[in-house]
Amino acid sequence: MFYVAGPAGETFGPVAVETLKAWLEEGRVDASSLVCRQGETSWVAITAHPELASLFPTPAGPGLPPPPPPVPPRAPSGPNQPPSPDEKNLGMALHLSNLAGLVVPYGGLVVPLVIWLLNREKSRFIEKQGWLWLNACVSYVIYSLPIGFLCFIVIGIPLAVALLAVWVVGSIRAALAAQKGEFQDYPLVLKLFKGA
């Protein structure tokens, strides 16, 4: 299994040799692509790796120029690119910092908002995670308004505890999904914003 950095610097993997062969035919990777075997840390040109060199035909004549130097991998930027480990960690931090409001007043609003606003232009993944978080925040505020009034007649107290539990569990589930590079809606959320 290999990780692959494509011609435009996008990173994929881990993938099997058969998948690499199909990607070569599709043009997703070429001779300038870098590969790294799963479990290793060094990136080499795909043509220089002993297991993958057979995927490329040998040059027909002695006067052909060598392939261009490989492009080092960089963070994915397109909408269909898998998120980088840094993006996954930021997505997880965005959702977990939502729980800071349990300790610091407004911490659950300020910290995730700062993470989202500083990184949403750089990463489509963080942008979408932020929209999920924002939808949850606004939805739970809407739910808390009538629950707050119901606290005066005691029925609101168990509802407030239930809403708090839904918020905490939803934050943790969304954080775990972000760490996997996935998206997880919070429970009981109204879809109010387009980005989510």
The pLDDT tens digits for 32-71 are 778 888 777 777 777 777 777 777 665 545 556 666 666 5
H helix or E strand, kind and range, residue 2: strand 2-5
Q: CA 78 to CA 87: how far, in whole Å?
A: 13
> Residue 77 above 80 pLDDT?
no
Average pLDDT, the chain: 81
Tens-place pLDDT, residues 138-188: 998 899 999 998 988 888 899 999 999 999 999 999 999 999 989 988 898
Model pTM score? 0.57
Q: Which of 70, 56, 51, 60 has the alpha carbon at shortest distance from 25?
A: 56
Three-state secondary-structure class, residue 63:
coil
Which tokens sit at 82?
A: 């898998």
Residue 84 makes CB contacts below 8 A (sequence gap 6+) with: 11, 75, 76
Q: E strand or H helix at 144, and its extent?
A: helix 124-150
The string of DSSP letters for 12-52 reads EEEE-HHHHHHHHHHTSS-TT-EEEETT----EETTTSTTT
Q: What is the DSSP letter of 54?
A: G
pLDDT digits (tens, 9 = 90+) for 93-120: 999 998 888 888 888 888 999 998 998 8
pLDDT of res. 65: 65
Q: What is the pLDDT of residue 75?
A: 45
Question: For residues 6 and 33, is the Cβ–Cβ distance under 8 A?
Answer: yes
CB-neighbour burial class of residue 54 (10 A; exposed 0-12, middle 13-18, buried 19+): exposed
The sign one gets for the Cα dihedral 180, 184, 187, 193 is positive
pLDDT on residue 195: 64
